[in-house]
Chains A and B, each alone.
Chain A
């Protein structure tokens, strides 16, 4: 009897130990950072490609106030209500005191400076595909924006999703820095488009359906999904979904908000489009070139 009890306890301990081991945060170290002089101008380009202000500006902020990334927006989801944090250079509640390595770990590994897992509402599953130098440039640009000392509100998670440690297992399953779509020949425009769409642009966060634990279904990459926060559907933006759009149409839409029927963009895409309008034209062309091929080579 006693032997059996011991065996059960032992097995449990091994299970817990295995869980703890596999769920541990695996951060980058200083040696992983390249010798790189940060370029805030490139950081600004990445900032618009990523649309950081769309979530991190104060809700309802207009024009210049959108540069104050004080957070505070509530994102409703089946897993709970996420409260968007302050990423202004504020020293107390912002990220002004973060080292470049802290920022790289947040963006590329989804790990906080305290070594905890972030919830994937922060779309690091896409940012993981970014180059470290772009990430460092972005931090340099964020440091030029106004500081805010707005305190962060806690997330309100639905049980059992509040258990952060388990995200370590989630990451082992779903955090993949490899690109989704294969590009056969060397095509600089297409490569740039893939980088922008799958990396900083995190288009898949809304346009790709998610599985039951909130991970993107790569087999249905960019093929459209229900709106997570309410009514309506996010459209299919694969080559099939955009069959009636030319690459020029996509570029014009991202620049002006007008689709080929001259309907004007709505919903959450408004902010995305306005960010994309601030990119150089060649970046919008690159995105268009990629989307017109998307869905054909995805795994």
Chain B
């Protein structure tokens, strides 16, 4: 997934997703994985490990835009446990807060897209705005066990 071409292809084509009857735990874990994979090249740019590339940046934003539109449906009642889920019970006991945290992510992604960062120095604050909303949700709605 580090290959920018692959990232771009995923963004352009979109992954055929949400096949009816598929396990929501598996689906959301895959979607979360994609979300994180889209962050990898951008994080590496911020870290100074790779050169800034606007196309790669836009491709990642597109992945997040799509993921953000889907996450809300992937935590139905009955998917609270199993499949090695890291989802915390608070998602179901405080659905409103969870939905709000997701909405904040979507807003941050929209802002990032509108900002059109053209250099790593412009990317850093934009990226910080998005990852802040990742934390916002990981803070109260995810359990880490390693």
Contact = CB atoms under 8 A, between A and B. Distances in A.
A256 B138 contact: no
B39 A270 contact: no
A267 B138 contact: yes
Contacts of B134: 257, 264
Contacts of A265: 135, 138
Given A264-B135, A267-B139, A235 B88 contact: no
A68 to B, nearest CB: 20
A263 B142 CA distance: 12
B36 A266 contact: no
14 contacts: A231-B145, A232-B144, A233-B145, A248-B47, A256-B46, A257-B131, A257-B134, A258-B47, A264-B138, A267-B142, A267-B143, A267-B144, A273-B135, A274-B135
A297 B135 CA distance: 33
B43 interface: yes
B39 A258 contact: yes
A228 B46 CA distance: 34
Interface of B: 36, 39-40, 43-44, 46-47, 88-89, 127-128, 131, 134-135, 137-139, 142-146
Q: With a 10 A CB-CB cut-off, give which of B39, B43, B89 has the most chain A CB atoms.
A: B43
Interface in A216-268: 231-233, 235, 248, 252, 256-258, 261-268
Which range contains the number of A residues in contact with the other chain? Answer: 20 to 34
Given A256-B131, A257-B135, A266 B142 contact: yes
A265 B133 CA distance: 11
A270 B144 CA distance: 13
B39 A262 contact: yes
Contacts of A257: 131, 134-135
A235 B128 CA distance: 24
Contacts of A267: 138-139, 142-144
Contacts of A261: 36, 40
A262 B43 contact: yes
Contacts of B44: 262
Given A258-B39, A261-B36, A263-B36, A270 B135 contact: yes
Q: 9 closest A-B pairs (Cβ-Cβ)?
A: A266-B138, A264-B134, A262-B43, A232-B143, A270-B139, A270-B135, A262-B40, A231-B143, A262-B39
